[in-house]
Amino acid sequence: MPMRFTRRQLGTVGASALGAAAASAPSGPRPGDGADDEREVSRAFPAGFLWGTATAAYQIEGAVSEDGRGPSIWDTFTHTPGKIRNNDNGDVADDHYHRYRDDVRLMKGLAATAYRFSISWSRIFPQGTGAPNPKGLDFYNRLLDNLLASGIAPFPTLYHWDLPQALQDRGGWETRDTAKAFADYAGYVAEKLSDRARYFFTLNECATFVELGYRTGVLAPGLKLPPGRLNQVRHHALLAHGLAVQAIRARSRAGTQIGLAENISVCVPVIEAPEHIAAAELATRELNAPYVTAIMEGRYRESFLAAAGADAPKVAAEDMNAISTPVDFVGINVYLPGSYVSASDAAPGFVSVPFPAKYPTMNSSWLKIAPEALYWGPRNVAKVWNASDIYITENGCSATDVPADDGIVYDTDRIMFLRNYLTQLQRATSEGVPVRGYFHWSLMDNFEWAEGFGTRFGLLYVDYATQQRTAKLSASFYREVAARNRLV
């Protein structure tokens, strides 16, 4: 049963603030005068809601040359001068490969009940295909055992951007063979780990690793492909997802749940009126056309194909069936909305509203503060594609985070971010949107891709010189919410 508070139980600070506002109100019952004391305010999440954190292999593990791991495109990219801020790399990162036991203990201290992490493909298959490397798998066996002993449910992601370099040398995501190799690897891992991991994610954020890795070149492998080749990469990423769903289902224990973790373009209606809400739903399908829309609907939208023209992806006979193999859940990474949307009489039926230049932004320049994305993101997925199980697979805030003289990191900016985003998520679950869990990005500060170690996303502060982890103030906030399963 969710706990419920009356206004009186909310305490004197809230009551007096409400009282001051009410003093200038023209009429109606005044908070604090007893008239609304019995009105209940529930801020609880559904029973069984999972609270977790998320990480990714290359961002935290380090140990890049240990126990037979093969190089990935991220090793190559980070060791190419000028690609990463400060020429940082993930050679050591958070040294999680050696410190995973402590990190699991710290997760438990956050009252976390779930953990999303990624598996390094080139630890398992150093050349991408061929003979597996037992020592690589052993690391994840140990991690899983530790998590389960701590009462934390493992949610492995099979691809978080670290393609084995050997596959890149053979054409990478430009070839169909990579999609097939991914399915073989995914099936193998699921066969070995599904006795303990019940949930698997295929690919993390196709839209990011494809657009930034193959169009703008900001992420590995740093390519700037022309439109036709780019569309083929997009298509092969979707194919890899679909073939992997099939391979995991064929080779895992009964009851294994499979889904994706995509940073969908979240479309927020500028005004919550029916015509703008409908426009945001339409925009959700249109703006996600090359990725999640194709997965959920089994076809590319006409508008996408028309815009691509002769550069449209080449689709083999069974591809769309494979791509749309039903998933058990949809994971969405939610940071900022793709767009604020308003209705329009002109095609395509909506207008994307631009962000003003000075829109409030966190430390990473792309991370604008828009808490309502955490309501509209899952709500649109549930409404547009009838998804019955949704996970927030990432949500988090970048900050500068410097320990004060007393050693504490007073990250009230992250607490502000969390409080506001989680308020919107709670609004969604209280309206019946089927969100089953929330994974905060990230457990601890880590290697933030092209931004190197220059920005921090963790609930735990990492001193990279000593590898000491220190819980930030936001970790206390998160623990309270997770432990009580409600906003506090």
Looking at the Cβ atoms of 359 and 366, the one nearer to ligand NOJ is 366
Q: Is there binding between residue 448 and ligand NOJ (CB under 6 A)?
A: yes
Give the residue numbers annotated as catalytic, written as ranges. 205, 394
Looking at the Cβ atoms of 203 and 384, the one nearer to ligand NOJ is 203
Going through 107-185 in order, the beta strands assigned E by DSSP cover: 114-118, 153-159
Is the preceding omega at residue 221 within 30 degrees of 0, hence cis?
A: yes
Q: Is there binding between residue 394 and ligand NOJ (CB under 6 A)?
A: yes
Q: Is there binding between residue 262 and ligand NOJ (CB under 6 A)?
A: no
Taking the complex as a whole, the smallest distance from the CB of residue 93 to ligand NOJ amounts, in Å, to 12
Count residues binding ligand NOJ (CB under 6 A): 9
Taking the complex as a whole, the smallest distance from the CB of residue 446 to ligand NOJ amounts, in Å, to 7
Q: In whole angstroms, what is the distance from residue 127 CA to residue 72 CA?
A: 9
Q: In a 3-state reduction of DSSP, which class is residue 119?
A: coil
Q: Which of residues 92-131 bind ligand NOJ (CB under 6 A)?
A: none
Q: In whole angstroms, what is the distance from residue 11 CA to residue 15 CA?
A: 6
Query: What does the per-residue mask of binding to ligand NOJ show for 309-348, with x meaning CB under 6 A?
Result: ------------------------x---------------
Going through 102-240 in order, the beta strands assigned E by DSSP cover: 114-118, 153-159, 199-204
Burial 212-236 (b: 16+ CB within 10 A, else e): bbbbeeebbbbbebeeeebbbbbbb
Taking the complex as a whole, the smallest distance from the CB of residue 333 to ligand NOJ amounts, in Å, to 5
Taking the complex as a whole, the smallest distance from the CB of residue 78 to ligand NOJ amounts, in Å, to 14
Q: What residues have CB less than 8 Å from 148, skipping those under 6 apart?
A: 154, 196
Q: Is there binding between residue 286 and ligand NOJ (CB under 6 A)?
A: no
Q: Is there binding between residue 56 and ligand NOJ (CB under 6 A)?
A: yes
For 336, the token pair is: 């900022």
Q: Is there binding between residue 417 and ligand NOJ (CB under 6 A)?
A: no
Nearest-CA neighbor of 172 among 104, 111, 220?
220
Looking at the Cβ atoms of 103 and 319, the one nearer to ligand NOJ is 103
Q: Is there binding between residue 88 and ligand NOJ (CB under 6 A)?
A: no
Looking at the Cβ atoms of 288 and 333, the one nearer to ligand NOJ is 333
| CB contact at 8 A, 23 and 83 | no
Looking at the Cβ atoms of 44 and 266, the one nearer to ligand NOJ is 266
Q: Is there binding between residue 485 and ligand NOJ (CB under 6 A)?
A: no
Q: In whole angstroms, what is the distance from residue 366 CA to residue 320 CA?
A: 33
Taking the complex as a whole, the smallest distance from the CB of residue 274 to ligand NOJ amounts, in Å, to 33
Taking the complex as a whole, the smallest distance from the CB of residue 419 to ligand NOJ amounts, in Å, to 19
Q: What residues have CB less than 8 Å from 309, skipping those under 6 apart?
A: none
Residue showing tokens 């009282």: 19
Query: What does the per-residue mask of binding to ligand NOJ show for 450-469, with x meaning CB under 6 A?
Result: -------x------------
Task: Give the rounded distance of the alpha carbon of 311 from its chain centre.
Answer: 30
Q: Is there binding between residue 146 and ligand NOJ (CB under 6 A)?
A: no
Q: Which of residues 160-219 bind ligand NOJ (CB under 6 A)?
A: 204-205
Taking the complex as a whole, the smallest distance from the CB of residue 458 to ligand NOJ amounts, in Å, to 10
Q: Is there binding between residue 72 and ligand NOJ (CB under 6 A)?
A: no
Q: In whole angstroms, what is the distance from residue 177 CA to residue 162 CA?
A: 16
Q: Is there binding between residue 441 and ligand NOJ (CB under 6 A)?
A: yes
DSSP 356: P
Phi-psi label, residue 34: left if phi above 0, alpha if psi -120 to 50, beta otherwise: left
Q: Is there binding between residue 422 and ligand NOJ (CB under 6 A)?
A: no
Could you tell me which residues are beta bridge partners of residue 435? 390
Nearest-CA neighbor of 377 among 267, 229, 244?
267
Taking the complex as a whole, the smallest distance from the CB of residue 331 to ligand NOJ amounts, in Å, to 11
The contact set with ligand NOJ (CB under 6 A) reads 56, 59, 204-205, 333, 394, 441, 448, 457
